[in-house]
Amino acid sequence: MPSPFVTLDLETTGLDSGSDAIIEIGCVRFDGDEVVDRWSKLINPRRKLSFFITSLTGITDRDLAGKPSIDDVLPDLRRFIGASPLVAQSAGFDLGFLRAAGLYLNNEVYDTFELASILLPNRSSYSLGALASEFGIELAQAHRATDDAEATGQLFNALARQAARLPLATLIEINRLAANSNWGLRSFFRDAEKEATRTVFLKTYERKALESGDLGPLLNPLAQRRGQFPEELVPVANPEPLDVDGLAGFLEMDGPLAQVFPGYEHREPQIEMLRAVADAFNNGDHVLIEAGTGTGKSLAYLLPAMAWALQNRRRVVVSTNTINLQDQLFTKDLPDIEQVFAALRSGDASVPAGDTSLYRLAEQADGFQVALMKGRSNYLCPRRLDTMRSRDDLNEDELKMLARVLVWLTQTTTGDRVELSLPTGRDRAIWGRLATEVGGCSAERCENSQGGRCFFYRNRRAAEGAHLIVVNHALLLADVAVGGRALPEYEHLIVDEAHHLEDAITQQLSFTASQPDLERLLDDIYPEGGQGERGVLYDLRKRLVKGGLSATVRQGLDRHISATQQKVELARDRLGLFFMVLHGFIGDNHGGQNSQYGVRVRLDRKMRAQPAWEQVEIGWDKIGPTLYELGEAMNTLRKGLDELDQSGVPDLEELLSDLGSLATQVMENYMHIHAAIVQPEDNGIYWAELDRDGRRLSIHDAPLHVGPLVEQHLFHAKENVIMTSATL
């Protein structure tokens, strides 16, 4: 690690370097862990301080009266820093203010905020105070420049030690990715690798696996175990009814729950709800239960659901609207019930004499299996990670995100994004390119190509042995949309927060298209002008060259790829014209509906009867058939490649999957936009939106009535459905 180095911190009158001013500069010179020098100055900003800044820093107008100007201070600051590497917390903020004041520094810069977000990938806060607390660093007076600078130096040293403790394979991979970049932290991770190699050596087979692109050496060993799944649940032929009175005794004032949790509040409405839920299981009924806040709904339905699943080996799915409630059920409510059953097994809790059903249930609960399932986009896709790792044109945001993910991979066993901090929109956008995608994979292919390391399918496989599965409405409805392929088979469903179900169905079945979205889709197929070594057609052509195919076959495929590229370019050219015409129409016909939230215009029969609508249809007639032909060309290319002997073409199966997924997206966009512009469906509602600035135009559709969908796919399809909420 660099030594010596100088840490820098500023206090300012506000956050805008263009209009605010520096009021204090603090620098501390470190040689390793030792502080060897300090430098600080108060600066007169030639303006009054706000009450907030004085409260935050403790600096007053009187403190700054008669102090030097920033111009007087900067030469001394430059001399103190010299050529030393600079360390700062959120370095861009400090350097931005210095540049605005006229000081441009070319020193090597290390940002502890950026470093911490990589090395501690699952923290909720990366503030200096939070990080100092985590590492036991004393922050004598927060928001005073010298104290903050000294704490930043100690934090940097702590992070350097943290980095050197990373698995050597992780450091090697980060440095491989950053080798040809100008990333500011490149030298930091090179130094960390050198430090790590003093005590750790990479086994030969691990190094070879890493060099071949294998993800294995980078994963938490617990995430690589195979065959560690519970036995698949097979329902009993003749279900045994629940003992409703026995279950109700669980919640009585002197029941086992109150014995284990002395603060438990006995509630009659909770017991009434439990009885209603248990009866619904026994009778195979569909039930709607409205229970106000404070009833204790979750225990009232979880206990009978758990009992039914254990007694009869019949899986129960519990769906919530929010992931927060989903996590609460999984991490608090169900463990609380299991704790009570454990107390019954050990004798630390009891039930009235003669009531044996709860004791029997407690014994069965020793083998209780529960699974938490979320939608695909919540899980890291190893295959898509491999694809990004293989690129040689990564930008700095992608490098930072990949480094964070690689560190996280040494810790996670689930691959669930809830464990990973994604603080910025750029981070979340990159995650979207790393997450599992619908249509982009299958259980069999991921099992073969990723060696059972796919987090989504591992979770799906574990759920097949679960008595109870906790999902959110989005995944519940996604399972309906794909014909039951997202969740293991089930006949019993509990829907909590059921008043959100209609909106969730509408959202799940809604569609949105915009010019930027479509341009990104076309770029994923073939970037504009063929720029950069990316796009599925570029990857396909590169793989075919390496595949050992005959010249005749390769030339034929190359012609087809070139023709598909031309269709992409044609679609891109015509896309802008269509959205420009539609933008003009919406701008002229929104009827003054614009607000601070933008403009929304219903695309109904009346709107389509406007004379100017003809120009919109003409614009669509130019781009629509082109999109359709592009989708057809991609599907034809995929089918032709599928018939080849793929043995010599590297990763062709993965590329075919990507090609098929992108072709599906092209065709879906075509069908939805065609319906909105030309051929609306009877049960559809269509509209266009302009954002508040009047720049971004999007086309939307949604089902008009969702009741028949609920009836067909839930009430008619399942043995019993229980819906509950505070308001129904």
Q: What is the mean pLDDT of residues 551-563?
A: 85
Residue 409 confidence (pLDDT)? 93
The answer to whether residue 142 scores a pLDDT higher than 50 is yes
Taking residues 241-250, what's their average pLDDT? Answer: 94
The C-alpha atoms of residue 242 and residue 6 are separated, in whole angstroms, by 70
- Mean pLDDT for 192-205 is 74
| Bridge partners of residue 31, in order along the sequence | 34
Whether 85 and 109 have beta carbons less than 8 Å apart is answered as yes
3-state secondary structure of 485: coil
Instruction: Please tell me whether the peptide bond between 4 and the residue prior to it is cis, using omega within 30 degrees of 0.
Output: yes
> Could you give the percent of the chain with pLDDT greater than 70?
90
Q: List, for residues 571-597, the tens digit of each pLDDT value.
A: 999 999 999 999 999 888 765 455 556
Please compute the mean of the pLDDT values over residues 135-147 and round it to a whole number. 89
> What are the tens digits of pLDDT across the range 474-529?
888 888 877 777 889 999 999 999 999 888 888 888 899 999 999 989 998 998 87
Where in the chain is CATH 3.30.420.10? 5-164
Given a cut of 90, whether residue 407 has pLDDT beyond it is: yes
Which of 203-217, 380-394, 492-506 tops mean pLDDT? Answer: 492-506
Provide mean pLDDT across the span 324-346. Answer: 92
* 73-84 average pLDDT score: 95
Q: Does residue 429 have a pLDDT over 70?
A: yes
Residue carrying structure tokens 């390119």: 433
Higher per-residue pLDDT: 223 or 130: 130
List alpha helices for 223-348, DSSP H: 244-249, 256-260, 268-283, 297-312, 323-328, 334-346
- Alpha carbon 316 to its chain's center: 26
Q: Work out whether the CA dihedral 333, 337, 342, 343 comes out positive or negative.
A: positive
Q: Quick check: 433 pLDDT over 80?
A: yes
- Residue 224: is its pLDDT beyond 70? no
Q: Which residue has the tokens 């609460």?
A: 328
Q: 625-667: per-residue pLDDT in tens? A: 999 999 999 999 888 887 766 556 766 777 787 888 899 999 9
Assess whether pLDDT exceeds 90 at residue 297. Answer: yes
| Superfamily of chain region 5-164 | Ribonuclease H-like superfamily/Ribonuclease H (3.30.420.10)
User: So what's the pLDDT on residue 33?
Assistant: 93
Outline where 470-612 has alpha helix (H).
Answer: 473-481, 501-508, 515-525, 536-545, 551-589, 605-608
Report the pLDDT value the prediction gives residue 391, as an integer from 0 to 100.
Answer: 78
What pLDDT band is residue 727 in, cutting at 50, 70 and 90? confident
Q: What is the CA radius of gyration of the chain?
A: 31
Comparing 118 with 715, which gets the higher pLDDT? 118
Residue 705 — very low, low, confident or very high, per pLDDT cuts 50/70/90? Answer: confident
Question: How far from 399 is each of 11, 178, 248, 427, 533, CA to CA, in Å?
Answer: 30, 7, 56, 11, 17
pLDDT classification of 131: cutoffs 50, 70, 90: very high
At 437-462, the pLDDT tens digits run: 765 555 555 554 455 678 888 888 88
- Whether pLDDT at 419 is above 60: yes
> Does 641 or 560 have the greater pLDDT score?
560
User: What DSSP string describes 339-398?
Assistant: HHHHHHHHTSS---TT--HHHHHHHHGGG--EEE---GGGBB-HHHHHHHHT-S---HHH
Looking only at the bridges linking them, the beta strands covering 697-703 and 684-690 are: antiparallel
Q: How many CB atoms lie within 10 A of CB 15?
A: 10
Rounded Cα distance, 462 and 227, in Å: 10
Task: Select the more confidently predicted residue: 224 or 592.
Answer: 224
pLDDT of the residue at 273:
96
CA distance 109 to 363: 60
Q: What is the pLDDT of residue 211?
A: 60
Catalytic residue among 143, 473, 492, 672: 143
Question: What's the confidence (pLDDT) of residue 592?
Answer: 47
* Whether residue 143 lies in the annotated active site: yes
| Residue 196's pLDDT band (cuts 50, 70, 90) | confident
pLDDT tens, residue by residue, 255-268:
999 999 988 999 99
pLDDT band for position 269 (cuts 50, 70, 90): very high
- What local confidence, expressed as pLDDT, does residue 507 receive? 83
Residue 721 β-bridge partners: 493
Helices 204-211 and 168-178, packing angle to 10 deg: 30
Q: Which of helix, strand or coil describes residue 29? A: strand
Contacts for 573-576: CB closer than 8 Å, 24+ residues apart: 574/622, 574/623, 574/626, 575/515, 575/518, 575/519, 575/522, 575/623, 576/515
Q: 228-237, 323-332, 379-388, 718-727 — which one is most confidently predicted on average?
A: 718-727
Instruction: List pLDDT tens digits, range 364-376.
Output: 999 899 999 988 8
Q: In what order do the strands lie in the sheet with 5-12?
A: 34-42, 22-31, 5-12, 86-88, 109-111
What does pLDDT average to over the chain?
Answer: 87
CA distance 354 to 191: 70
